[in-house]
Structure 1
């Protein structure tokens, strides 16, 4: 396993939308609302949405499963980038890439995130651990 790169959040990013999730059942609503938000803020919808929906679902699932709910998913914009920022309340666990796990064994959320996003990182606030992923938008 290797740790995900720790980096400060995007200081000039503006929050476009925010969703609070308490359960896995809310992931479907998150994806629908994310599509609507992306349609509002960019012309490149289909391919971008597909990538962002996978990443949002994976990061939120990780946060709900391994973190302490509620999970907060924020959609941000900074210049020509859209950023997903997913927070949980488990301050003791670091986000790690499991590079040796075989396909189909689960635990590939951060690997998929690194594949689909142009940049990925994480940071802590006084009460949350956040993983973020940036996309051209």
Structure 2
């Protein structure tokens, strides 16, 4: 099994309802997560019985947004495009020269495993730079299935 990586790759085309949060501080994440859950409750996507797919999206949203807020430069914008087959999550910040770097050789108790986690939860992931902003993105399915995680 390969190691999840965060490849330089353009954002895939996403069509669907667009939800966006402008974030200025980590302290704003609980309200953003609550807003995302409220949006998810208002859409008619197929859901698994325990709503694991929606919770995986919320977890990925939190991981990428908190990374941008802690390691990037403001403004941070988190966008979710809710399409018929899944969600496209895109988080941007102004640290265009700082590529997302998964932690290597770190004790898991110290954290820093968010990029690995998001890579495992997603069916595709990547990052790119556009107009002076770094964008880190992931595609997450609306249902949980037995599948191999997305690796490059």
- TM-score, normalization: structure 2? 0.81
Q: CA RMSD in A?
A: 1.8
Equivalent residues in 2 for 1:35-114 (5 A)? Answer: 35-41=37-43, 42-44=45-47, 46-114=51-119
Deviation at 1:79, TM superposition (A): 4.4
**1:29 matches 2:34:** no
**Helix, strand or coil: the match of 2:126?**
strand
Runs of 4+ in 1 over 6 A off after TM superposition: none
Are 2:96 and 2:129, in contact at CA under 8 Å, matched by a contact in 1?
yes
Larger Rg, first or second structure (1 or 2): 2
Give me the whole-angstrom Cα distance separating, in 2, the residues matched to 1:8 and 1:52. 20
- Unmatched tracts of structure 2, length 5 or more: 143-152
- Unmatched tracts of structure 1, length 5 or more: none
Aligned length: 136
Deviations 1:14-39 (A, max 9, x none): 45210000011110011111112222
| Cα gap change, 1:127 to 1:14, in 2 (>3 Å) | farther
